Chain A
Amino acid sequence: DTGVSQNPRHKITKRGQNVTFRCDPISEHNRLYWYRQTLGQGPEFLTYFQNEAQLEKSRLLSDRFSAERPKGSFSTLEIQRTEQGDSAMYLCASSLVLGQETQYFGPGTRLLVL
């Protein structure tokens, strides 16, 4: 069990550019969640997958955001035409749909949009 990993850990981009983040969940975890955490706030839910199916998206997830989880393994979160308001920590968590369903978090990707 190597834990949830996220890449890159830090990303600086210019406004208007596209960025993509990757999350590798704990192997065999079939649920994967994306959260966004801005300064001074707790994480806020963005979207989640069960296996490869994206089952719910928050209203926070504008049409510039897209997430995928091909083959139910790793997931990517892409932000198109980034805005300064997108600057935040993007957290990924995974869980197993059995038992207590504890969510295990990755270290996050910190995005800064200039």
Chain B
Amino acid sequence: AQTVTQSQPEMSVQEAETVTLSCTYDTSESDYYLFWYKQPPSRQMILVIRQEAYKQQNATENRFSVNFQKAAKSFSLKISDSQLGDAAMYFCAYRFSGGSNYKLTFGKGTLLTVNP
């Protein structure tokens, strides 16, 4: 079974600084997707960034980028120029790209605090 581990229950960063959230996963599959989702307090979860395992190039979305190390099964999220609105719970998630059930397997999350 696939597992996703986020070893940092909480992180904090100063506004305008950079922070990196860690994620490792375990799978025997070679073709899959990885995601970072953001869940602000009392608001719905939204997709921050996704990475296809077959792509060597790391995904980027504006201030958000990932460091995908397939051999190490590591998928970290870097947030540059942190803003107060980035404060949220961040979940790393895995999805096998085969089969028909595209269910997501989530880590336990990292609570990010942004200090002004």
| A residues in contact (CB < 8 Å) with B | 3-4, 31, 33, 35, 40-45, 48, 50, 55-56, 91, 95, 100-108
Contacts and interface: CB of A to CB of B under 8 A. Distances in A.
B101 to A, nearest CB: 5
Contacts of B101: 48, 55-56
By size class, the interface of chain B is: 20 to 34
B102 A40 contact: no
A102 B33 CA distance: 11
Contacts of B100: 50, 55
A12 to B, nearest CB: 17
Nearest to B104: A103
A3 B101 CA distance: 22
A29 to B, nearest CB: 12
Contacts of A95: 102
Contacts of B43: 107
B44 A43 contact: no
Contact of A102 (B4, B50, B107, B109): B50
B47 interface: yes
A91 B45 contact: yes
A102 B47 contact: yes
27 contacts: A3-B44, A31-B102, A33-B103, A35-B104, A41-B108, A42-B4, A42-B106, A42-B108, A43-B45, A43-B91, A45-B104, A48-B101, A48-B102, A48-B103, A50-B100, A56-B101, A101-B102, A102-B47, A103-B47, A103-B104, A105-B37, A105-B44, A105-B45, A105-B46, A106-B44, A107-B43, A107-B44
